[in-house]
Amino acid sequence: MSDADREEQQQNADGSIQGETLGGPRPDPSTTASKDPEEWVTGDEPMTGPQRSYLDTLAREAGEELPADLTKAEASEHIDRLQQQTGRGADS
């Protein structure tokens, strides 16, 4: 990273870096933090509470019913799909 790039990025009070983004297209080859859900080491674990809650909201909005025993990876894929379908996605 050049000095000019460092000057453009400023650390926010919460520790995040201004100008840094999350939620871009996956997989993003420039970072290991953005893997395809199928490659997640913990992808076969049960979905998290926040995933379950958000997926429930998205599924209701989309008029869909999904199994409640999804894995983290499956939940992530459904969330991505339903965000696009409901207009909640960043690229919608």
Q: What is the dihedral of CA 43, 49, 54, 57, to 10 degrees?
A: 120
Instruction: Mark 9-35 as b/e (b = at least 16 C-beta within 10 Å).
Output: eeeeeeeeeeeeeeeeeeeeeeeeeee
Tens of pLDDT, residues 49-79 = 999 999 999 999 999 999 999 999 899 999 9
Predicted local confidence at residue 84, as pLDDT: 92
Which class for 46: exposed (0-12), middle (13-18), buried (19 or more C-beta within 10 A)?
middle
Tell whether the model's pLDDT for residue 31 goes beyond 70. no
Q: Give the global pTM.
A: 0.56
- Sign (positive/negative) of CA torsion 19, 91, 36, 30? negative
Predicted local confidence at residue 22, as pLDDT: 47
Predicted local confidence at residue 59, as pLDDT: 93
Least confident of 24-33, 58-67, 80-89: 24-33
